[in-house]
Structure formats: structure tokens, C-alpha cells
Amino acid sequence: MTATRARRILTGSLTNAAIIAVTLLVVDGVCILFNLFPPTYNYGDPDLGWHPARATGRMEPGVCVEFSTGQTIRYARNEDGVRTDLSRARIASDTARIKVAVTGDSQTDLCAPNAQVHSGVLESALNSLGSPAVAVPYGAGKYSPLQAYLAFRKVLRPYEPRVLVLNVYTGNDFQDILRVDDRPHFVSSDTGYRIADPVWYTLDNPAAPRKSRVMFAARSLADKTGIRQLFLRVSELRRLAAQQGGGLTAVIPYMRDLWKARESALGYPNAFTAQILNQQLFFHHFPGGREESLRRMETLMKLIRAENPGLVMVMSPLPSYELTGETPVDSILLRILKRLPITYEGGVAEERSLYERLRRLAAEQEWVFVDNLAALQAYRGKERLYNDFDYHFLPVASDLIGRAQAAALADRLRKTAPPEAPTSR
């Protein structure tokens, strides 16, 4: 009797499930056929992963909010999404000034007027030093150094720049160059490394447009509950861990430490995690990742040199709040570190070591090196260099960085200036 009842319940459940599935398929089919309730997917870019702003073919205003002050900032982007007040045609027709391409992550694409971000200061400082220049900047939040270069290759190289400034944020870019997600990334090959396509993680695959309303609703529900994000995050970390010889047993303590690094007292609870601590915790739990990231950075610099033999290359490492050492150190950071298996002193030493490795790589590969750390540490003013919301550079820091870049670059430009054409008498 019990077995018969169980079969009856199972049969009824399967029948109901089949009815629901068929009904959803019919409804989905009707919606697709008549284009009802079209879903809005967020498609990525196969070449870059994502854009800070899409090319629109016209000058566009940009708007951001500097959350540490609540101030709304307005700036301009041109037809290609480049942070400049000049149109593509105007830049192309300007043959009197040196074009300087600038790329990097969110510490490059800062929330400030174009003239006050370090690319704008670089332009004005070069002009004042007698090297007429126009900056062509294209940075994007969360970009890895590889993505930054690919953005140069796709967006900025058509402007025919003479200089490439690669801003490498030493607080998290060494981890970002290891990531396997919605971004092109390096993978090992028989000859060293090759660039692999994005593994679509939070963005949608542009090569496989989706139409199902039912799947969109299910995915939206998973996003709202956080289930999908957790699954994707664990999957990504397992891939990274496997590359470094670890497994799920190493991923769990790492994720636990990331959770401990959150701080609700901050305007952005993950500010220190995103900008500094995630990289340190990753290298703590997966020590092999540090040298692997440096190998990839070296590979990237060699690739850039090989593909752009006539370009002046500038390595511009941007130090984190922790490495710069603003005093007094914000107490929130010290409080967070007490909960973690890493220390303030250890974090400073590790990032300083990475910074110095970039200096060495620049010398070996004949790149101009900009010592932004020295410029920032020499500051004796009273204004903060980094905001206290998400610990990005403020205009006073951008001014120091832009001037340091211009000073390092101006001498090289004078030495490599093309000879003037002889004048007829």
C-alpha cells in the first residue's frame, strides 16, 4: 500500500512538472514569436570584455559622483568613448602635438573633470615643459593590464600616438592579470602564453544572443538571491586555485577571509578588499600566484614592445593607499587587518616588492619608468591623496602623478624627437 501510494505521488508530481514545463515553453514561444516582454541582456565585448563607455559616433557627456564628497562631476567623452574634450577628427588633424595614449583601470578613469585626472595633468605639464602634447586616455574600472593594452590596440592605436602610458595599479592589477572571467586573459601554451577569449561570467556572450523570457526570469531570480553570483565566484576561484596547485580546500578559507575584510563602517564596504586586500589574501592563500603574475606582466610588456616597435613605452605604476603610507593610517584599515592572517607591514612590503619588480622590468625592456610612489610620498600638504569612500586618487594625487609622468617623459621625447625638416633659403 505504501509503495502504491508513493508511486501515485511520484506520478502526480511528474505529471504536474510536465504540465508546468510545457506551459512555460508555450508561453515562452508565444512571447518570442510576437516579441512580447523582450529581455534585456548585458552583452560583453569579445575583444575587451567590457567598455567604460561605448563608441556612439558623437561627443557625449559623462557623469559620475565622487561619493566621498557627494559632488556630481561632468566630463566629456568623444565618439570613441575616449576621455577628452576633443573630437576624433580634431585630434587626427592636430599634427603639431605629440599624441600620448594613456590606459589603465579605475585609478586611471577617475571621477574628476578631464583636466584634473592625471592624464589631463600630464598633457598640460608636457605643454609647459616645451613638449606640445595631447592626451588620449581610455581607462576602465576593473581592467587588468592586459585589457588595458587591448583597449589601446583597439581604441587608441588608430589615433597614431607616439607614446603609450600603461598605468599599472599595484594594489590589485597583479591579481587581475590572473583572472579568468569576462575578460581576455593569458593562458599557458607550448611557446609561453597566448591570449584567450573571455569566459563569460557575469556578462552575456555577444556571440550567442538569447531570446528566452523564461530563462531570463530564472536568471534574474538567481541574481536577486545571490545564488548565481556565489556559484560563479566559486567556479572562478576554483579555476584560479587549480592553476596555482590548490583546490576547494584552499578556496574556502580564502573566501572566508574576503568576507572578514568587509567593513560596514565604510561607505563602500568592500573598498579595502577591492583596492588592496583581495590581492594580498590571494597571494597569501595561493603563494605561487605572485610569481605567475610577474611572468604574465613581463610577457605583456614584451608583447607590447614587439607589436609597437616605434612607440615610446611608459611604465607608470600607481601605488595603493597602503603602500603610499598616508599618515595617520585610517583606523578602519588597521581594524580590518586584525581580523585577517596578513599584516599592514607585510602588505606594504609585498606591494613594494611588486612595484620594484616593475621598475626592473622597465629597465630591462627599455621602458620609461615613472616613480609615482616617490612623488606621492614627497607630498607634505594637508589634503588627502585618496578618498575615504573607495580609496581612489583625488585630484591632488592626480596632479602629482601627472607631473611625475611628464617629467619622466619629457626628457625621452626630446632625445627621440624627429629631426626638423631643413628650411629652404
The candidate with the shortest Cα–Cα distance to 237, out of 286, 203, 174, is 286
Q: Please report, in tens digits, the pLDDT of each residue of the chain (425 residues total).
A: 577 776 777 777 777 777 777 787 777 677 777 676 777 778 899 999 999 988 899 999 999 999 888 899 999 999 999 999 999 999 999 999 999 999 999 999 999 999 999 999 999 999 999 999 999 999 999 999 999 999 999 999 999 999 999 999 999 999 999 998 899 999 988 889 999 999 888 888 888 777 777 777 767 676 677 676 667 767 776 676 666 666 667 788 999 999 999 999 999 999 999 999 999 999 999 999 999 999 999 999 999 999 999 999 999 999 999 999 999 999 999 999 999 999 999 999 999 999 999 999 999 999 999 999 999 999 999 999 999 999 999 999 999 999 999 999 998 888 776 545 444 43
Q: Cα–Cα distance between 280 and 278 in angstroms, integer?
A: 5
73 phi and psi, to 5 degrees? -110, 135
CATH topology classification for 60-415: Rossmann fold (3.40.50)
Helix/strand/coil percentages in the chain, nearest 5: 50, 15, 35
Of 238, 272, 269, which Cα lies nearest the Cα of 254? 238
Chain centroid to CA 333: how far? 22
